[in-house]
Amino acid sequence: MLEAIRTIGLRKVYPAANGRRLRAWNPGAAPRLPAAPALSPSPAEVVALAGLDLTVGEGEFFGLLGPNGAGKTTTIGILTTRVRPTSGTAIVAGADVVTNDTEVRLRIGVVPQRPNADRSLNVRENLLFHAAYFGIPRAIAARRAAELLDQFGIGDKAEAKVDQLSGGQQQRLMIARALIHEPRVVFLDEPTMGLDPQARLALWEILRALHAAGRTIVMTTHYMEEADRLCDRIAIVDRGRLLAVDTPARLKAQAPGGTLVELSLDGPAARVADGARTLAGVTRTEAVGSMVRVYTERGGDLIPALIRVAEAAGRGVRDIHLSPPSLETLFISLTGRKLD
């Protein structure tokens, strides 16, 4: 398999988020800083990435899955040359993101988390000028722009101001912009965040078509379903670390003990977790506050026994939630917390 991306020991440490300097210099970026105080080497620093090793193949649809603050956006930032790594190496489309950043930018397309089209220009001009920044002759750019706008269903908006587009249309304009210079690797950072379900499905279709056309795609998301449905391989990241990377099917197969049963109790759950562990068919239990998580091969059949265990421990059951084996249960077992 040819490599589109390889990272080795990628680390990113941000200086103190509450520092005077950062607040003065970086007001817009402050909310984007992932907070992971538990891993910080000193209270003054935030470790966004703690040594990431990744390989993405040419033509692959690769997903970076993790909760907010996992380091997804930082990873995309480094791979798109917009964030300088503290240490480690990243090669994208054959060029180093630090020592040869302009070469990387020539070969990638980037769809940002929040649409940031040039609002001084109309929709078509956004594409034409972006193409011009990549040295594409005007006639070719005009043809490609018309094709892309039609393909993404905003051909009739070519002369419109950016502000006249809906959120979904702006996001599609961002994808068109990312594609106009025919990049080898396309990066999308949470592309469906804030879109209504219909716009999200439309976007999925666009991404599937891009993938089918052989483009390498790297997408971050915190939606399990999205990663499951679209990606060839998924990397699960949390607190700046890579926890697992594989195909969705193989990741789901790794989910521990089949079904996850979550019981919300009316008090601390530790004793209930201990009791549940002795039940037949239970592979693993954990207590988080007043919540107990039980992984079982027996699915819903275990519920009466679990309620008896809880009552024996003097706890009432307030709520029960069943999750079939999924990326979600794997994620919870890897990180100890839910995605969203």
Partner 1 sequence: MTAEPSTLVQRPTTARIVGALLLRDLVVMRRELPYFLIRTTLQPLLFVVVFGYLLPRMGFVRAAYGAALLPGILAVSLALSSVQAVALPMVQDFGWTREIEDRLLAPVSMRVVAAEKVAMGVIQGVIAALFVLPIARLIMGPIEALTGAHLGVVILVAILGGTAFSMLGLFMGTAINPQQIGLMFSVVVAPMIFFGCAYYPWQGLSALPVMKYAVLVNPLVYVAEGMRAALTPALPHMSLVTVLAALVAIAGVFWALGLRGFERRAMG
| Interface contacts to partner 1, rule CB under 8 A | 2-4, 6, 24-29, 32, 58, 77, 80, 82-84, 91, 93-94, 102-103, 105-107, 110, 112, 114, 116-121, 125-126, 129-130, 132-136, 177, 181-184
The residue (of 108 and 255) whose beta carbon lies closer to partner 1 is 108
Q: Is 287 left (phi over 0), alpha (psi -120 to 50) or beta?
A: beta
Residue 314: Cβ within 10 Å count: 11
Helix 138-151 to helix 123-133 angle (10° resolution) is 130
Q: Which of 112, 109, 270, 264 is nearest to 181 (CA)?
A: 109
Q: Closest CB to partner 1 among 128 and 272? A: 128
Q: Structure tokens of 275?
A: 């009791």
Decide whether 129 or 204 has the Cβ nearer to partner 1: 129
Q: How many CA atoms lie less than 13 Å away from 164 in the CB half-sphere?
A: 11
Task: Using the minimum distance from each CB to partner 1, give the nearer residue, 32 or 208.
Answer: 32
Task: Tell me the closest approach of the beta carbon of residue 104 to partner 1, in angstroms.
Answer: 8
User: Smallest gap, in angstroms, from Cβ of residue 161 to partner 1?
Assistant: 12
Bridge-based pairing of strands 87-92 and 108-111 is unpaired
Cβ partners under 8 Å of residue 24, min gap 6: none
Give the integer Cα–Cα distance in Å for 327 and 49. Answer: 22
- Provide the minimum distance between the beta carbon of 162 and partner 1 in the complex, in angstroms, as a whole number: 9
Shortest distance (Å) from residue 125 CB to partner 1? 8
Q: Give the chain's length.
A: 340
Rounded to the nearest whole angstrom, what is the least distance from the CB of residue 131 to partner 1 in the complex?
A: 9
Neighbours of 196 (CB within 10 A): 12
The residue (of 120 and 283) whose beta carbon lies closer to partner 1 is: 120
Q: Are 327 and 333 in contact (CB under 8 A)?
A: no
Query: 163 by DSSP, 3-state: which?
Result: helix
Nearest distance in Å: CB 287, partner 1: 39
Nearer to partner 1, 93 or 282 (CB): 93
